[in-house]
Each structure stands twice: as C-alpha cells, then as structure tokens.
Structure 1
C-alpha cells in the first residue's frame, strides 16, 4: 500500500509538468525580448511537449483533478496564446500601427477556443465518432501554425513576403479564425496503429527526428503546413462518417471496406438505407397517435354532426385508424 505522502507526490506530478509548460511559454517572451527568437521557438516547443505529457500522466497515475484541468487551460492560454502573440509582435508587428491589434485578436481567439473546449467536455457528443475530432484547430497546433513565417525567416533569412509585417499579421488572423471555427480537425489521441504499420511508423519518426535535428525550423514549417493541408481531408472524413451510420461503430482500419461497399452500391444504382426517413416517419406517426388518439367514445362523430355534416355521413378515420393501427384490446 502506498503511503499518503507518496500518493500526494504522485498526484502532484502532472500539475508540476503543467507549471513547467507555463514557465516555458513565458520564457519564450523573455527570449524574444532579447532578440533570440530561435530560443523562443524552442521554449514554445517545450511547452507543447509538457502539454502533451501532463494529461497522459494524470490518466496514467489516476491523478486527474479539477484544479489540474484549470491549470492546464491557463497554461495553454499563456503558452500558446499570449506567448506566440507577443513573440510575433516583438519580431515583426511592433512597427505596424495595427500590429498590436492583431496580437490581441490572436490571444483573444485562443481564449475563446479554450473556453469552448472546456464547455464541450461535459456536453454529450452528437455522434459516436466525435472523439476522433477537435472542433477548430487546437492550441498547440495553432501556435505552431502561426509561427510558420518566423520559421521560414530563421531558416532562409528575411524574405520578400514571409517576413513582411502585413503577411505576418494577416497569417496570424487566419490562424485565429481557424481556432474559433467549427471545422473538425484531426485528433491524434484516438489514433490506433495496426501492428503491421508499427515498423514503418518508427522509421518515419526517426526520419522526422533527423529533419528536426538537421534543419529544425524548416522541419517545423513543413510539419505545420502538412497539418493545415490535412484539414480539408478531415472535414471530408467527418461529413462522410455523419452520412454513413453503418461505419460509426466500426474500427478505423475497417472503414475502408465500408467506403468501398458504399461506392459499389452507388455504381450499381442502389440506394443507401433510408434510416433518417424511416425514423422521421415513425416520429410523425407517434405524434399523430398522441395528438388525436382513436376516438373510442364516438365524440368525433358527434362533433362532426354539430359542424353540419350529414348524420349518415361516414367520418374520416383519424389517429390510429388513419395510420392503419389497431387499438389494443382492453382486458
């Protein structure tokens, strides 16, 4: 049995990693004030690494707490919202009359994105596959994407367009808009790698590490660009899953077979199961039964006589009778 002091130390570890992420983000601003922007990039990267570790440590050690969740959101706001905005402002936007406004917009959008993320935690998912996607670009990816002009400048030197204050400011606004958008983006938390792909994936990880060691800033720019290019594919995948309920509870590696079957059905001219139409018709029938009933006492016929119908006229069936349903016999 672990002692109470040991248990308290274990529960403190994820929060300590979160505090390190916050310190790394603030250190990025400190290095930018000294003109050492390469160290600013490294500090934000260290914050992203700590952000990826603290949540997993909390789940692994069963040390998830409410204060830990709040600290994580505050650390993300500082490390990936305030720090990148200030770094970009110090680097390229300080001489522009609208530079500070663009930096503020980026930080505010990061705050709104994190607030929405926290509120969606307790909301029931609309689809069973919603955990495979984020709503909008997540905080670490947004900070990485906003730094693409800085990465290109650190690798190639000042360019005729990527280091321009106007381009840097507009690019920051674009990333801010992607943060608060409703676009589905890929979440790597639920990715499961089949055993046969483990070896090629390890080779790719080694290649990525070699690129980051050899040409780190160019590698970061390529990684951020690849992530942004994948957004249209992610949107298409989300819409496809929403239209194919038969693939909701199928593992990801088996969804290709479902997609091939759907394409084959379209080529043969077959219609997909009309689940939504059937469900809608059933709901309409249920509402009609609840609203009209089957008029067991004959009040409907008496009402129609009062309305001026002929006494011998046959009333139109309503409720269950119109729908072709029989009333259950009473015992």
Structure 2
C-alpha cells in the first residue's frame, strides 16, 4: 500500500488542523494568566499550522470535504473566537461595549470564512481572481487584531495603545477589513522574478533572524508591512480588471504592459538620453567671461563657410 493511500497518513492533515485549533484556543488561557507573549505565540502557532495542513493534504492527495469543513471551523475558532476572547479577557472585561465589539469581530471572521467557502465553488470568476484574497485572510486578521497586546508584551508596560477605546476601535477596523471586499495579494500564486530571488531570500533571512532575537516586535513590523501592501494590491487588482489582455500573460510580459500604460499616462520620469526636439543643455559661463552661455558654431548648429575652413 502506497503512502498516498495509507489511512493513517490521510489523517495527518486533519490532525494538524485540530492542533491549530487547540493552539488558538490556548491563547485565551494564556491571556487569563497574564502571559501575553505566550498568547501571541499560541495564535502565531495556529497560523503556522493552518498554512501547513492544506498544503500537506494536497501533497498527500488527502483532500476531503470533511477536511475542508474542519479547516473552516478551526479558522473560525483560532482567528475569530480566540483573539476576541483574548482581548476581552485582557482589557475589556469591565467594559460592556467591549463584549459587543468582541462579538462583532468574531461574527465578521465567521462571515469572512463563509464567503471564502462560497467563492471556492464560483466558476464565473476571472482568471486573475486567484491571485487575490477578498478581504484580509483569517490568519492575518487574527494576528493583526493582537497588535496592541504584542506591543504591550514587548515593552512590558501599557500605554495609549492598550486603552479599551483604542482596542475596540482596532478590533472593529480589523474585522471590517476581514469582511470587506478589499483585495489582498495571495502568496499561494505569487511569482517572483529571477532577479529578485536573491534579495528576497536575504529579506527572509533578516526576518527570520529578527523573529528569533526579537520575536514579538519583529512580528509587529511584518504585520504592519502587510497592511502597507493593501494599496498596491488594490491598484494591481484594478489594473488587471481593466486589461483583459494581461490575464493570461506571463509575469514578465505583464510588467512590460504595465510600464507601457504608465508611460502613456506620463507617470514615468523622462529618459536621460537626448531625443529629437528636446532642449539642449546650457552651460554656465566660466570665470572671466561675459555673462550668458557660451556660443559656438557647433552649438548653434551653423556650418562655417568653405572659404573660412580653407587654410590661409
């Protein structure tokens, strides 16, 4: 019996999904014990395991309907219920509005996951739709909403970022991004140009080293960079929607099309080399010479008479 058909191996992706759910829910217990760094680590572990179970299921050819439903339920618990209850147990217990905001965030995450499942069966989407997520994905949202807790865990003290009003506003904002239709890039279909492979690997090493030495604050920086990519994702999605000819083009040709469209809009700076009709460079006068640029028959594009060119 091969590895792909072994029943025990087929259970491995579902076991990882269950471990992800347990890790996410453990963040609540850590928050109740005032172990903030452990609560962040639990949700981060859940996000890491969530990224592994689906890939492992496809690798082992063990994708099932039950696994897909279990993955959605695990995401709802790990990145919806667990972060909401963690923040509520940390700072919002004495605030009645805090429980309402926690419920709103959890409901937004469940709605986001339900919409994600319905989009999987939609065959009318354009080809470029697979390059984007609709809204912020559940693992990213579950980590983003814990940024105030991360900052407090790193600094070891509370500040304006840990005020209940700020936390409730932040939870509402992240929940809104998760359930919104704002496009975000999907790393599953991202293609890196060959010339950017080496710099990207260096950045990965820097990020891994930062997370190993300063895990909490490095994770905060990565999450903020992720937020900053959203305007670019919106621009790219809008450009692809208006250029059907680029839907099936390879990345190199697509970048060339984008550069041409930018050049037509006048967004690129002018080239340095001289073109027809461009103004010539004007030199400043040297010391001891009268004001005004130097003039010569070559710069004025005038030819000398043959009599003047003949030797005397």
TM over 0.5: yes
Structure 2: give runs of 5+ residues left out of the alignment: 267-312
Residues in 1 aligned to 2:258 and 2:195: alpha-carbon distance in whole angstroms: 21
- Match in the other structure for 2:2: 2
The match for 2:195 is 196
Q: Distance in 2 between matches of 1:76 and 1:230?
A: 23
- Identify the residue that residue 153 of structure 1 maps to in structure 2: 152
Report the 3-state secondary structure (helix = DSSP H, G, I; strand = E; otherwise coil) of the residue aligned with 2:133.
strand
Structure 2 CA distance, aligned partners of 1:3 and 1:179?
A: 38
1:215, distance to aligned residue in structure 2 (A): 1.5
SS at match of 1:30: helix
Corresponding residue for 1:85? 84
How many pairs were matched up? Answer: 266
Find the aligned partners of 2:262 and 2:128 in 1 and give their Cα distance. 21
* Equivalent residue number for residue 34 of structure 1: 33
1:206 CA displacement: 1.1
What is the distance in 2 between the residues matched to 1:69 and 1:38?
30
Contact conserved, 2:36 with 2:150, CA < 8 A, in 1? no
| 1:199 CA displacement | 2.4
Matching of residues 293-308 of structure 1 within 5 Å? none
Q: 2:273 — aligned with what? A: none
SS at 1:190 equivalent: coil
Query: Which whole-Å deviations, capped at 9, do the CAs of 1:107-162 have from their partners, x for residues lacking one?
Result: 11110000010111101243210000000111001011111111111112434410
Alignment correspondent of 2:106: 107
1:43-73 CA distance string (max 9 Å, x none): 1111001100000001111110000000000
What corresponds to 1:184 in structure 2?
183
- d(CA) in 1 for partners of 2:40, 2:21: 14
Instruction: Give 1 or 2: higher helix fraction.
Output: 1
Alpha-carbon offset, residue 198 of structure 1 = 2.5
In 2, distance between residues paired with 1:3 and 1:200? 37
72-81 vs 120-129, which moves further:
120-129
Output the CA distance in 2 between the equivalents of 1:243 and 1:78: 38
1:164 aligns with 2:163: yes
Alignment of 1:225-236 (within 5 A): 225-236=224-235
- Larger deviation, residues 236-245 vs 92-101: 92-101
Separation (CA, whole Å) in 1 of partners of 2:192 and 2:262 = 25
1:63 corresponds in structure 2 to: 62
Q: Distance in 1 between matches of 2:95 and 2:241?
A: 45
C-alpha change, 1:207 and 1:243, in structure 2 (3 Å) is same
Counterpart residue number, 2:138: 139
Question: How far has the Cα of 1:186 moved from its partner?
Answer: 1.0
Listed as ranges, the matches of 1:253-272 within 5 Å are 253-266=252-265
**TM-score, structure 2 as length reference:** 0.82
Q: Which moved more, 1:120-129 or 1:196-205?
A: 196-205
Deviates more, 1:193-202 or 1:49-58: 193-202
SS at match of 1:98: helix
RMSD: 1.6
Q: Whole-Å Cα distance in 2 between the matches of residues 125 and 212 of structure 1?
A: 41
Cross-structure match for 1:117: 116
User: What secondary structure sits across from 1:250 in the alignment?
Assistant: coil
Q: Distance in 2 between matches of 1:172 and 1:101?
A: 11
Q: Distance in 1 between matches of 2:237 and 2:39?
A: 35
Structure 1 34/67 Cα, relative in aligned 2: closer, same or farther at 3 Å?
same
TM-fit CA distance, 1:251: 2.0
Q: Distance in 2 between matches of 1:263 and 1:198?
A: 25
Name the CA distance, whole Å, in 1 between partners of 2:265 and 2:168: 46
1:218 corresponds to: 217
Distance, in Å, in 2 between the alignment partners of 1:264 and 1:206 is 35
Question: What does 1:13-32 align with in structure 2 at a 5 Å threshold?
Answer: 13-32=12-31
Q: What SS does structure 2 have at the residue aligned with 1:188?
A: coil
In the alignment, the residues of structure 2 paired with residue 163 and residue 3 of structure 1 have an alpha-carbon distance, to the nearest angstrom, of 50
Corresponding residue number in structure 2 for 1:11: 10
